[in-house]
Copies of this chain bind each other. A is one copy, B any other.
């Protein structure tokens, strides 16, 4: 989101400040934020004091710098209980986990990124990890490409026009034309596969979940270590289970088979 320039009301300023506390830069001083956002130091100071009093941010007593507060953990419980995708999806994730023994995860688009909203980690010793909240761009990895592939053409075109296809690994797709073809191929076969597009050695399978309107709501995915995704029979087995459970999930959301 991140709105442009000046002329924000105080709530928007508070939100813009909160959004600055990202993984890339987790600790901020007041004058630093002031310069970054073009708010006066007094304003930044006042807003941070308010946010601090609610534990949205905390302050390091030694450096006096601010960082994100623990209150956000609390909203997670609300999300898990409220979000119909995580509530309904629980059974399907469990079923995929039970049958495949791989790390299962459920993803949605949030602010032009794929974000993991639920997961069950593999019981195996060699496993891929995918914590809730994990974010990645929409062009790299099966779960991300799957979400993008089944979005509206307008969304895809807009995304491709704005995004910079950064080379994250040697397998990342960096040419828009190749990505377009890949998306077409995902749509025609009904699922997405990737190997090391974002993280070397990490394979991924993903199938879309649709709602009653036929709109993509999530992608149901497996994160599989390279050695196991290269086993043809295991791969096929996993895809079948994913397709089956994602289909049942879509049905539970009111999607009618053959709706298109």
Residues of A that sit less than 8 Å from B by CB: 1, 3, 9-12, 14-15, 18-19, 21-23, 26-27, 47, 50-51, 53-56, 67-68, 70-83, 108, 110-111, 113, 115-117, 120-124, 131-135
A115 with B74, Cβ < 8 A, contacts A53-B1, A132-B132 known: yes
| B54→A15 contact, CB < 8 A | yes
Beyond the given pairs A26-B82, A123-B123, 13 more chain A to chain B contacts, judged by CB atoms under 8 angstroms and listed by A's residue number, are: A14-B14, A23-B81, A55-B111, A68-B82, A70-B79, A70-B115, A71-B110, A72-B76, A73-B116, A73-B132, A77-B131, A122-B123, A131-B132
18 inter-chain pairs at a CB distance below 8 angstroms, sorted by A residue, are A12-B50, A14-B14, A15-B56, A21-B82, A26-B78, A68-B79, A70-B110, A71-B111, A73-B76, A74-B110, A74-B111, A74-B133, A75-B75, A76-B131, A77-B134, A123-B123, A123-B124, A131-B132
Contacts of A21 in B (CB 8 A): 75, 78, 82
Residue from B3, B54, B67, B82 in contact with A1 in the complex, judged by beta carbons closer than 8 Å? B54
CB distance from A239 to the nearest CB of B (A): 23
Contacts of A15 in B (CB 8 A): 50, 54, 56
Contacts of A74 in B (CB 8 A): 110-111, 113, 115, 133, 135
Query: What is the CA–CA distance of A1 and B115 in the complex, to the nearest angstrom?
Result: 29
Contacts of A54 in B (CB 8 A): 1, 12, 15, 19
| A110→B73 contact, CB < 8 A | yes
CB distance from A13 to the nearest CB of B (A): 8
| A80→B133 contact, CB < 8 A | yes
CB distance from A187 to the nearest CB of B (A): 24
Residue from B47, B53, B73 in contact with A117 in the complex, judged by beta carbons closer than 8 Å? B73
Residue from B12, B67, B79 in contact with A73 in the complex, judged by beta carbons closer than 8 Å? B79
| B70→A72 contact, CB < 8 A | no
| A76→B76 contact, CB < 8 A | yes
| A82→B23 contact, CB < 8 A | yes
| B79→A72 contact, CB < 8 A | yes
| A115→B73 contact, CB < 8 A | yes
CB distance from A209 to the nearest CB of B (A): 15
Query: What is the CA–CA distance of A51 and B72 in the complex, to the nearest angstrom?
Result: 15
Residue of A51, A75, A135 contacting most chain B CB atoms (<10 Å): A75
